[in-house]
Structure 1
């Protein structure tokens, strides 16, 4: 009784604190790109979409219809589901292993970073996790006795999962394998009430199946074929290491031990214990193997979460076998992981902290810059003719800018990102795929940092082919250019003549983050199609400190730009300058460029940090 009360008090305290912290973060954290697109889907209600079943979009619509057009309202249904999840785990674990184990399992769900941060983002993993726990609990109850209540719980879980994500097919397969593995499970599968529940779950896939049948299996092909290389790659090792970090090392080890015991069990163990262990083992180890062959470009660290949730039901029993010191270390590392993960989201939600990591690989670009971009777009729109159409170059910009402006129908140009993320078919269905033709003034918003740097010039040239000659852009550098957008005010009719692309430039010396003396050399290159570059000014903290001079040819640049540059001075595009920073204090400063084209246009390039000693 003392253990149960202690576990209950710890869970209630930690759950309440974490829930309040998550709500506070969710209210400030800018929308992640995928969240913005799900919001956009929610403004175009349908039974299913190109990238997902319908539930995630429906939930974003429900949240904003009730709570208004704000970030927290988009996430509110997901926060509620995430808050409910550990209570369901507690209920399931307590039913089989006692109340103390139930509260401990629920506390692990709150503390493990992967599950504890659920709901902060409006993502399909939240309802899918809830569906997984419902199905796992129903399956365990059916092992003891097949009754209408358990079969109903199974049907609800299967429906919720089918409406959440394509990946839930894997959860269903794992559950069936676990039941077939156990003699008690094979008996369960002979009961007609279970098959009725399975039939209800199958019917829930009908909207997604109908969508794919109507649109040439576009969604299935993306999820199963297009996004995966299906060839061996060594990143699978990194995937396992990331899992150990995201679950925290000792807790990760405990779950692996439970997996192995579940597989090796000779049948003497309790059926429910074996069932939860097998669910987690097949799912988790399956995803570890999949990590060597599947998509390694997009975020995938959350894939094994359904298996972990099943394992956490049993893990408290294993922890009782460990020494007190080892148990305390496990709980301590899990708590530290939760604090660090929540701390990361706090940092991302604060503009000042985002600015500190600008220019580094840790910069959270998919969260950053959208409100600032919306402000710039409104300013430009105010000076343009009435009826000017807003046009985005890719789905990311269209969705995020759409949410910031409250416009869910911003048309989007063809872009590799639209296809890479499986959003192109949906944009086509909404009539938002834009071919570049126009008969009204248009403000084109281009995400320069959404394109690989070596392909940036080719991307500008492709824009020229789609929309015609580009006027000088209004450059929007956010966080010193870590996020960079170009705004082009296009006339109603496509102009004729050569297309002058925006500047593409780079500072080669000094390297970003380098420590430099008060007098240091700056070297780099700058190109601009058709008209070339007339002047390069070096900026320090936004102020011009020196005008660069010609430094000769750069033959290497031809290959880097894939011989795409039509700069008339190519390859003589290298510049150099000597900077005297004697008047500035020591410490971190921002080095940038202001480039004047041969046509008189002026563009400010992205900045990079240097440490002046």
Structure 2
């Protein structure tokens, strides 16, 4: 990579690290932090990789937002270098240096990675291991020796398995690779390498499969139930949300180039076409009857960056506009210079005022004679457990039964839940610069049993 690209990546990584340290945890991040205190082979919502990354980060940097997110910016930096290397084998020979730089710039300029790398969600390790999968696959397809090709196919299976251990949507990339192997003109399906990758893949996926097998297949069933909801009358709404979410997360000009690059793969790149359009079709079909969360297509963003980088179509304009938009969102997230309300600013809504609110809530509970905070909502319970150490937080959501958390019998506790109706009627509110973000209701309860969430210290 050129010196300017190295410099840009170092600067971007430094900014992400600063943002990771400054911004309070979102409720979902606090929930994954709870996971990290009890590492298991899987969890109800996702596989285990995000919990493992948080555990490593907090071991290095402590039980704080920076520790929780530490591996996010670092993995984005390393993943960018790996994606650059993947382009050297997957894109037209002789232009790989320029195309590799374009792919790295395009991916880093998206809001998905630009701001997402400063947070810790399952998408963070997912994007890293998808980039590794693309690199290993490129080496398997271009290796000059049969034995070496088989080794790289095995590594491809391992990296894809680790991506699956981060998020289930990685399976779509695996199916896309399978479709490519079966349809490639080189008849790859007759070679031993692709088949040899399968047992390696299954071995790396086995912790997640074993956890599900020993927990009534809870996670697989939960994800499978998403396909059971079917509301075709709202198809246009869901498709509009899917399109709007991708325009926002990719940033508008990069989204257009992504679409154009994907279209070009239909004629030139059999592999990239499989890796893009098979997952895209799955998301499209799902959106015909149910909502597709905006971050689900993140799994194909590294592939889209490779496809778009080969177009040389307004790349500079797209990258500059993407970084400008991402910088604006980052500044708003860190300093809130524009006085938006919590309804208008989703980052403010999720992150503002937790420390002060949790402390005041614990003081109120103690004054009323409560020995614990009792919370049904898992995200709120996780945030309160991370934000205060005065009282134990007891969760009575059934999902906690899937954890190895200690049971806790509460004689007198203060139950807390979000007030969803008239927020002005409550004096128990989370504030940001004196403005109400969210309000909550509380009531004393007795004889409650639940799971005690971990404390930070």
TM score, norm. by length of structure 2: 0.85
User: What does residue 300 of structure 2 align with?
Assistant: 307
Distance 2:401 2:119 in 1: 23
2:380 maps to 1:377: no
| Residue of structure 2 equivalent to 1:237 | 240
Q: Deviations 1:302-353 (Å, cap 9, x if unpaired)?
A: 222232311322323211xx4xxxx2xx422332223323432432333x65
Matching of residue 388 in structure 1 with residue 341 in structure 2: no
- Aligned partners of 1:408, 1:92: CA distance in 2, in Å? 50
Residue 24 (structure 1) aligned to one of 8, 18, 26: 18
1:444 to 415, 418, 427: 415
In structure 1, distance between residues paired with 2:308 and 2:84: 13
1:475 aligned residue: 428
Does the CA contact (< 8 Å) of 2:371 and 2:391 recur in 1? no
Q: Indicate the SS of the match to 2:351.
A: coil
Alignment partners' CA distance in 2, 1:75 and 1:137:
25
Distance in 2, matches of 1:365 and 1:64, equals 25
Residues in 1 aligned to 2:137 and 2:84: alpha-carbon distance in whole angstroms:
16
Match of 1:461 in 2: none
Q: Give deviations 1:344-393, integer Å, cap 9, x for gaps.
A: 2432333x658x323534353222221121220343355455x8122223
CA positional deviation for 1:405: 2.0
Aligned residue pairs total: 433
Shift in alpha-carbon separation, 1:153–1:411, aligned structure 2, 3 A: same
* Counterpart in the other structure of 1:275: 271
Corresponding residue for 1:161?
A: 163
**1:497-544 deviations in Å (ceiling 9; x for gaps):** xxxxxxxxxxxxxxxxxxxxxxxxxxxxxxxxxxxxxxxxxxxxxxxx
Matches of 2:329 and 2:379, distance apart in 1: 22
Structure 1 segments of 4+ aligned residues over 4 angstroms from their partners = 406-409, 430-434
Q: How does 1:425-574 map to 2 (within 5 A)?
A: 425-427=399-401, 429-430=403-404, 440-448=411-419, 451=420, 453=421, 475-479=428-432, 480-490=435-445
Counterpart selection for 2:329 from 339, 344, 348: 344
Cα distance in 2 for residues equivalent to 1:382 and 1:245: 44
- Give 2:340's match in structure 1, choosing from 342, 357, 361: 357
- Give the deviation of 1:19 after TM superposition: 1.1
> 2:194 matched to which residue of 1?
194
C-alpha displacement of 1:205:
2.4
Tell me if 1:403 matches 2:386. Answer: yes
* 1:445 positional shift: 2.4
Shift of 1:164: 0.7
SS of 1:183's partner is coil
TM-score, normalization: structure 1? 0.64
Are the equivalent residues in 1 in contact too, given 2:276–2:303 (CA < 8 A)? yes
- Listed one character per residue, the Cα deviations across residues 260-292 of structure 1 (whole Å, up to 9, x for unaligned) are 2322x2xxx5xxx43224322333344334333
Give the structure 1 partner of residue 286 of structure 2: 290
Separation in 2, partners of 1:86, 1:256:
21
Q: Provide the residue aligned with 1:209 in structure 2.
A: 209
Q: Which has the higher strand share?
A: 1
Q: Which of the residues 262, 265, 284 maps onto 1:262?
A: 265
8 Å contact 2:150–2:192 — kept in the other structure?
no
Matched, 1:252 2:255: yes
Deviations 1:400-432 (A, max 9, x none): 011112599621244xxxxxxxxx434454457
Q: Does structure 1 retain, via aligned residues, the 8 Å contact 2:86–2:135?
A: yes
Aligned to 1:581: none
Q: Which runs of 5+ in 1 are unaligned?
A: 1-6, 415-423, 457-471, 495-613
Q: Distance in 1 between matches of 2:247 and 2:51?
A: 31
Distance 2:118 2:391 in 1: 22
Distance change >3 Å, CA 477–CA 32, structure 1 → 2: closer
Q: In structure 2, list runs of 5 or more residues that go unmatched.
A: 449-457
SS in structure 1 opposite 2:374? strand
User: 1:151 and 1:409, CA in 2 relative to 1: closer, same or farther beyond 3 A?
Assistant: farther
Stretch deviating more after TM superposition (369-378 or 274-283):
274-283
Seen in structure 2, the aligned counterparts of structure 1 residues 245 and 445 have a Cα distance that, compared at 3 Å, is: closer
3-state DSSP of counterpart to 1:444: strand
Partners in 2 of 1:151 and 1:493 — Cα distance? 56
The structure in which a higher percent of residues are helix is 2
Which one has the largest radius of gyration?
1
Out of 151, 156, 163, the residue aligned to residue 153 of structure 2 is 151
Cα distance in 2 for residues equivalent to 1:200 and 1:30: 39
